[in-house]
Structure 1
Amino acid sequence: MYFHVMLFLLLFSSRNISPMVPGNQTQFTEFLLLGFSETPEHQGPLFGLFLVMYLVTVVGNLLLMLIVTSDSHLHTPMYFFVSNLSFVDLCIITTTVPNMLVNFLKQSKVIPYAGCLAQLYFFTAFGSLDNFLLTAMAYDRFVAICHPLHYATIMSPRLCVLLVLLSWIISLVQSLIQNLMVTRLSFCRDHEIQHFFCDFPQILKLSCSDTFINYMVLYITTGLLGIVPLTGIVFSYSQIFSSILKVPSAKGKYKAFSTCGSHLSVVSLFYGTGIGVYLSSSTTQSSWKSTVASAMYAVIIPMLNPFIYSLRNKDIKDALRKIISKGTSFE
């Protein structure tokens, strides 16, 4: 990851990070994030709301990672993926919310051009990582329920690490490609982004250049990195449900379903809000509705995920009780 960050910054600096605009347009080095600026009197309450959500997200995901790493009973493929998902969720919300909070305090809407591109890069990379990790978790549940006797052999530590490493590489590379495509664009005088963070569809709308190739790359990567993993998840759960229905006892069916409940909830939220965001951005004329939909996707879901995996999970609750009891014993 360090290599990609250094390459990313080197490419920006080599291009002087100032987008050239055609004709007699002036140069600029910043964008304006208009996100929640339609109601200035709500800036204070919104700052408090997003600050609370950010802190809850940070504490919740860090606590979940601590629980998984500290309890040896949770050193299994499923919880390995859960802890990685928590880390990625923490990175996603950190990519967008702190900058928004600073802008609330400064009563400013400005984000530097280089900062916008960095936000594009990391948000896209971490969003893709979420996608791949959810797919890996679906495969893990498929093997556990459909091939329980071979689970330990198939879901080896080596395979789990390889799946996560491959997810990182693909996500970082595809995000780097899309960002390099943006650096070739020129922008008009209108550099107001109707959003609270930089996103590819919003940036492409502001360009004076021909964005056909950019949109093609965006659609292809969205298709390959979105639809293909979702198809894998749907296939995995179709096989899971088919196997569960063959279980003779109601108790056995409930136990099998309960192991998938948390993951299914997260998948539904992730893809439901993700599809809603991009459908709303392409069909609705209301920037406020599109911004609220994006907040659900980029802020609310990372906050909810640790609670979804902990509130209905007996293993997580037991591990948390152990940590609390150890903490109280030292007092």
Structure 2
Amino acid sequence: YTTVTNVLVHNTTFVRPATFYISGFSNIPYDKYYYVFLFFVYIMTVLGNGLLLSVIYLVKTLHTPKYMIVFSLALTDLCGSTALIPKVLDTFLFDRRYIVYEACLSYMFFVWFFASLQSWTLVTMSYDRFIAICFPLRYHRVVTKPAIAAMLLLTWVVSLSLFALAAGLLDRLSFCGSLVIQSFFCDHGPIYRLACNDTSLNYIIAYVGLITVIFCPLILILLTYVCIAIALSRIASGLDRLKALKTCTSHLILVALFFLPLVGTNIAALTSYIHPNARIINSTLSHTIPALLNPIIYSLKTEEVLNPIRKLFKNNRCKNISKYYKCVLVLH
């Protein structure tokens, strides 16, 4: 497959490959059309999240704790898609399937780092909804900018530490057999399974990562919604209950879009056999579709965001019209 380099470190011989080979789909005709579809998904993701980030940054009325969380989600969606899709397109559309060893570890780190940030940002959103519905009178005292900034910073530090450790543990492995990664990117599981020495620590960190990125956030979100459901059941007015529930529907859709494919794919991969093609389709969609739909579902359909966008476009149109009439007057 490729040449390997033997490196002697602390009396232990580590066999590190110069490159890995990313296999992608196996025996699927016209698979390039799928990657073209991912290209259009990426373009729309960049446009949607870029617009949302610009609006939140430019409109001062949106400089609130709630939209700090939305800004963080849009930023991690944009960075996560950028970490994954351009390299996937380069790998398969242009048939550059060999990837340098160090680049492969960096690739794995950034994809899972931003996936972890997306997951915990959804937890922070559920916390915001929990306080707003269960403790509405305390909301502005509890959900403050410093509090939200501290929560978001904590997610960055924990995610950074966890996946730096995962990459470091991969770097201590020897690869003396196959160098073909049975995935569409440098995924953690398919890489460490290629090693020919002890991978017990990598197996443990895979479970820790799974719990940290998927199960722990999902359990916390479900617990917040149990509390929200209890609080809503105590509201006498059905209309007030419906209004409160509507503020949660967008977040619940985002949670379902993000977690269900990831949970299904990873449980199947860890407990039984999942065909590489099925894993690739599930993983690509779970890493890309939520980032595309998040700005549409959560923000770009709300009046708080739509009104500033309308005003920005209206002001630009008025400026263009005024410039046009000034030019006409000068010409006459």
Other-structure match for 1:70: 58
Task: Give identity over the alignment, percent.
Answer: 32
Tell me what 2:172 maps to.
184
Match of 1:299, as an amino acid?
A: T
Instruction: Output the CA distance in 2 between the equivalents of 1:290 and 1:100.
Output: 15
The answer to whether structure 1 residue 316 and structure 2 residue 314 are counterparts is: no
Letter in 2 for 1:68: I
- TM-score of the superposition, structure 2-length normalised? 0.88
Post-superposition CA distance 1:146-196 (Å, at most 9, x none): 111111111111101111111111110111111111100011331111211
- Could you tell me which residue of structure 2 aligns to residue 330 of structure 1? 319
Partner of 2:17: 28
**4+ residue runs of structure 1 moved beyond 6 angstroms?**
23-26
Paired letter, 2:22: L
Match of 1:119 in 2: 107
1:241 to 229, 232, 237: 229
| 1:136 partner letter | T
Answer yes or no: is the 8 Å Cα contact 2:65–2:143 preserved in 1. yes
- State the 1:220 CA deviation: 2.6
1:215 aligned residue: 203
The two structures have a TM-score, normalised by structure 1, of 0.88
1:287 equivalent among 276, 284, 289:
276
| Distance in 1 of aligned mates of 2:31 and 2:146 | 50
User: How far apart, in 1, do the equivalents of 2:163 and 2:13 lie?
Assistant: 32
1:89 aligns with 2:77: yes
TM superposition shift of 1:215: 0.8
Q: Deviations over 1:210-255 (max 9, x none)?
A: 1011111221343245433322211111111111222222221121
- Unmatched runs of 5 consecutive residues or more in structure 1: 1-16
**2:117 counterpart residue number:** 129
Asked whether the equivalents of residues 88 and 130 of structure 1 are also in contact (C-alpha less than 8 Å), the reply is: yes
1:122-271 map, 5 Å: 122-271=110-259
How far apart are the structure 2 equivalents of 1:32 and 1:213?
24
Deviates more, 1:101-110 or 1:259-268: 101-110
Paired residue type of 1:271 = F
SS in 1 for 2:99: strand
Q: What's the offset of the Cα at 1:106?
A: 2.5
Query: Secondary structure at 1:269's aligned position in 2?
Result: helix
Tell me if the contact between 2:214 and 2:263 (Cα under 8 Å) persists in the aligned partners.
no
Amino acid at match of 2:125: M
Is the 8 Å Cα contact of residues 125 and 175 (structure 1) preserved in structure 2? yes
Letter in 1 for 2:153: L
Specify which of 273, 292, 306 is matched with residue 261 of structure 2.
273
Aligned length: 313
Q: Secondary structure at the match of 1:32?
A: strand
The amino acid of 1:245's aligned partner reads S
Match of 2:327 in 1: none
Structure 2: state its 5+ residue gaps.
321-332
Relative to structure 1, is the Cα distance of residues 285 and 157 closer, same or farther in structure 2, using a 3 angstrom cutoff? closer
Find the counterpart in structure 2 of residue 304 from structure 1.
293
Report if aligned partners of 2:15, 2:174 keep a CA contact under 8 Å in 1. Answer: no
Mark the CA change 1:18 to 1:314 in structure 2 (over 3 Å): closer, same or farther: farther
SS at match of 1:330: helix
What is the CA deviation profile of residues 263-309 of structure 1, one whole-angstrom value per residue up to 9, with x for unaligned ones? 11111111111102212334334211110000111111211111111
Contact kept? 2:22, 2:180, Cα under 8 Å: yes
Paired residues of 2:16 and 2:174 also in contact (CA < 8 A):
no
Q: What SS does structure 1 have at the residue aligned with 2:308?
A: helix
Report 1:10-21 matches (<5 A). none
What CA distance in whole angstroms lies between the structure 1 residues aligned with 2:258 and 2:316? 34
Mark the structure with the bigger radius of gyration: 2
The answer to whether the Cα contact below 8 Å between 2:105 and 2:186 also exists between their aligned partners in 1 is yes
